[in-house]
Amino acid sequence: MEQSKEKSQVVTDTAKGPLSGYLFQFERALLLLSSLETDTDYVSIEDVDDIATHKSDGTVLISDQSKHSISQSGSTFADTSYALWRTFQIWIEKFEAGIFDKNVTFICSTNKPISSNSILYFICNNLFDEVSDRISNLRISQGEKLDQLIKEDPSKGKSIKAILDLIDFIIKKIDVFEVIQPSIKIDDNSDLKESIHNKLHLNSEQFTDLQKNNVYEGMIGWLTSHSLYKWRNSEVAEFTKKQMDSKYQSLIHTPSVINAVFRAKHSFSIDDTEIEAKRSELFVKQIELISRRPDAKDRTIKNAIEDFIRFEIEHAYLINEIGDFTKEDFNKFIDLCYEEWQSYFDDKVVHDIAEYSDDEKNHLALDIYSFIMKKLNINFADDYSFTTNNVYIKNGSFLKLSNIPMIGWHPDWEEHFKK
């Protein structure tokens, strides 16, 4: 069993790098897709390149080779890396095949900073004659290194030989490389998520961090799942800007995004001491006035106290720390809650209170409390509905009103508490 666990751990660790690179490629695809300006323009993944953007007629606009390193000390597109020279070879071959033309922008994208001393940086920032000389000098130095390695051990130097073959290919096709060299760019953005948020206009005050994450994850999931589906069916993974816009609109209007403005109830840790400290509050006494089975009453009170505490915490958090809502927003919601309570209370308690027996009053109280806490649908700031995970905002608001007290559940609530 120990050997099996150890083997499993090795596989898991080994998978981290490829999986991170896989996700990075889809992040790059989303960033490029969100940068398109025309509805019919599109992004392709693993077709003409790792990622590419196209006009509606298929003309390539951008060819993107994306390389990712999960290691803290890792690098990509290093001077003598296979990835760098293989990238150039791919671009040259596809240029010669007519897939690319001189108007294409060629991007080396990575999550690691590209050194200003690197040959890639030099290629992107200098005249071609100087670039050609730098490549030739690298070929000479690496050739000498290979000769020395072979002299020491004939079995060594295979990786250097593979890279030299690629450099030789570039030198042989130097006239083609001269055409594409001015269009080679570096994008070493290590925070693609933030860039995507900006492109999708998610950094406005309209969205909370939870909402931004839900939209972002939904967009990445959409690209990933649809790409896999298309590849399994021998289709090209292509996504138009119009498709992206439609997906974006559907995501920002889904309940998971709309309701993400409030933290889920499981985010709060409430201990017994906090619960006991609230048992003397007026909102608890209002619930205690309603007769019901003792164990049911205990659960009802405990649930109410927890909702009240969550509401107090989230109210302060959203106003003072996050700033997504103002005190005025909550006051407007409290006013709306009062109106909803008054409307339902008046609908249920239709006769003079003295005309009801004690049992009838208790049944009315049970009905009013149960409806308000469990069945009433009401939106916060017009747009935000509630789920079981954040209904504490609604319930806490009504409990706050009953703690003032401005409302009550029992028909006799004013006689008992409003003195």
Is residue 28 pLDDT above 90, yes or no? yes
pLDDT value of residue 258: 60
Looking at the structure, tell me whether residues 269 and 406 fall in a common domain. Answer: yes
Q: What's the average model confidence in pLDDT over 170-185?
A: 98
Range of the domain at 178: 68-189
Asked if residue 359 is part of any domain, the answer here is yes
Domain boundary residue, one of 137, 169, 189: 189
pLDDT score recorded for residue 328: 85
Instruction: Give the number of other CB atoms < 10 A from CB of residue 196.
Output: 22
Residue 154 domain-assigned (yes or no): yes
Q: State whether 180 and 292 are in the same domain.
A: no
Most confident of 154-158, 195-199, 278-282: 278-282
Is-contact 389 258, C-beta < 8 A?
Answer: no
184/72 same-domain check: yes
Confidence of residue 91 (pLDDT cuts 50, 70, 90): very high
> CB neighbours of 45 closer than 8 A, spacing ≥ 6?
25, 26, 29, 51, 223, 227, 237, 238, 239
Which residue among 189, 214, 241 closes a domain?
189
Residues 406, 287, single domain; the answer is yes
158 pLDDT above the threshold of 60 = yes
Query: Token digits for 257?
Result: 């995004």
270 with 404, same domain?
A: yes
Residue 317 pLDDT class (50, 70, 90 cuts): confident
Classify residue 72: in a domain, yes or no. yes
DSSP code per residue over 71-113: STT--SS-TT-HHHHHHHHHHHHHHHTTSS-TT-EEEEEESSP
Burial class (CB in 10 A: 0-12, 13-18, 19+), 36: buried
pLDDT tens sequence across 197-229: 999 888 876 677 778 888 999 999 999 999 999
The Cβ-side half-sphere exposure at 74, using a 13 Å CA radius, reads 13
Q: Rounded to whole angstroms, what are the CA distances from 219 to 29, 244, 268? A: 11, 8, 28
Number of domains in the chain: 2
Is 407 exposed, middle or buried, given 0-12, 13-18 or 19+ CB atoms closer than 10 A?
buried
Q: Is position 376 within any domain?
A: yes
- Given a cut of 80, whether residue 9 has pLDDT beyond it is no
Which DSSP helix (H) or strand (E) runs through 70? none
Residue 2 lies in a domain: no
Q: Answer yes or no: do 176 and 294 share one domain.
A: no
176/271 same-domain check: no
pTM equals 0.64
**Residue 46, domain member (yes or no):** no
**Per-residue H/E/C for 212-264:** HHHHHHHHHHHHHHHHHHHHHCCCCEEEEHHHHHHHHHHHHCCHHHHHHHCCC
Residues 271 and 168 in one domain: no
287 plus 173 within the same structural domain = no
pLDDT at 14: 53
Provide mean pLDDT across the span 362-369.
Answer: 98
Same domain, 311 and 407: yes
User: CA-based diameter of the chain, in Å?
Assistant: 110
Tell whether 109 is covered by a domain. yes
| Final residue belonging to a domain, choices 189, 212, 245 | 189
Q: What is the dihedral of CA 31, 37, 42, 47, to 10 degrees?
A: -60
Position 12 scores a pLDDT of: 45
pLDDT of residue 206: 67
Kind of pairing, strands 60-67 and 105-110? parallel
CA angle 338, 342, 347 (to 5 degrees): 155
pLDDT band at 387 (very low <50, low <70, confident <90, very high): confident
152 and 293 in a single domain? The answer is: no
Same domain, 294 and 184: no
What's the mean pLDDT when you consider all of the chain?
90
Model confidence at 306, pLDDT cuts 50, 70, 90, reads very high
